[in-house]
Amino acid sequence: MEPIKISGSRWKQYATIIICIVFMAIGIFVPIDDPTSENILVGSLGFLFFGSLGAFLCYTLFFKPPSHLFLSSKGLEIFTFGLPPLMIKWQDIEKIDTSWMQYNHVTRIRLNSYDNILASFKPENEKKLVKLMKATRIAGYGAAVVGAYLGEHVTDLVDAIPSNAESKNLVAILKHSRDKYGGEIVLHNHMRDRGAGKFAEFLRQKKKEFGY
């Protein structure tokens, strides 16, 4: 069969960029309105964090291929953030269901083996993934600082941020996701064309159709 391409809605990525711009503006005007040392520090961190996140999203949105999936008789191929594709074979999937991540309903995939992924993922691609995880960790701590200042509960966010050891290579990253979220692969709304539950059911049907 011809591969099925699944693309999420790009308006959600545009909406995230707009939110980043709003928080960058807050980071500028809060210290101006009340120039205490605390407000200056938090405003600077907020501006740097949301500015960096917005710039990264703009780069991936306008200069990299959009995040998408390919479904075929071999399995599920994931393209995201301009990284080389990650091939998940149907026989390596143990379970497909849903979960919640910081108020986001996600589709998760639990694996029974990493052998095929490791065989297909080149060392240079693994290095790119590790660099992305380091940037994600920095962004996560930045969001936690801003969130705490705004009075938000950030314990779950901080707990979810992978340590250096948990993001040192592909296997560590997969195990961290499995331990924290119950599945190695987590598909957010920008990777799906329908809700988390319906997409999980769709993947289960396709897996069954292909004899797995």
pLDDT score for 124: 85
Reported confidence tier of residue 20, pLDDT bands at 50, 70, 90: low
What is the residue whose two structure tokens read 């964090």? 49
Task: Using a cut of 0.85, tell me whether the model's pTM lies above it.
Answer: no
Q: What is the largest CA-CA distance in the chain?
A: 64
Reported confidence tier of residue 157, pLDDT bands at 50, 70, 90: low
CA–CA dist 96, 176 (Å, integer): 17
pLDDT score for 167: 81
CA–CA dist 130, 153 (Å, integer): 28
CA–CA dist 12, 117 (Å, integer): 29
Give the chain's domain count: 1
Q: Which of the pair, 38 or 10, is modelled with greater confidence?
A: 38
Check pLDDT > 60 for residue 153.
Answer: no
**Residue 32, Cα to own-chain centre: how many angstroms?**
34
Q: Which residues contact 208 (CB under 8 A, 6 or more apart)?
A: none
pLDDT score for 139: 64
CA–CA dist 57, 209 (Å, integer): 36
Whether the Cβ atoms of residue 140 and residue 160 lie closer than 8 Å to each other:
yes
pLDDT (tens digit, 9 = 90+) per residue, 98-151? 998 877 899 999 999 999 999 888 888 888 888 777 766 666 666 666 666 555
Q: 162 has which bridge partners?
A: none
Whether the Cβ atoms of residue 121 and residue 84 lie closer than 8 Å to each other:
yes
Whether the Cβ atoms of residue 157 and residue 148 lie closer than 8 Å to each other:
no
Per DSSP, 91 falls in state: G
What is the residue whose two structure tokens read 């987590």? 186
Q: Which of the pair, 197 or 67, is modelled with greater confidence?
A: 197
pLDDT score for 73: 92
**Residue 84, Cα to own-chain centre: how many angstroms?**
15
Per DSSP, 154 falls in state: -
pLDDT score for 182: 93
Q: Which residues contact 118 (CB under 8 A, 6 or more apart)?
A: 170, 171
CA–CA dist 201, 164 (Å, integer): 34
Structure token pair of residue 7: 């693309």
pLDDT (tens digit, 9 = 90+) per residue, 47-94? 666 666 666 666 556 656 667 899 999 999 998 766 778 899 999 999
Can you say whether the dihedral through the CA atoms of 105, 197, 134, 64 is positive or negative?
A: negative
Q: What is the mean pLDDT of the chain?
A: 79
CA nearest to 147, candidates 81, 107, 103: 103
Range of the domain at 185: 4-209
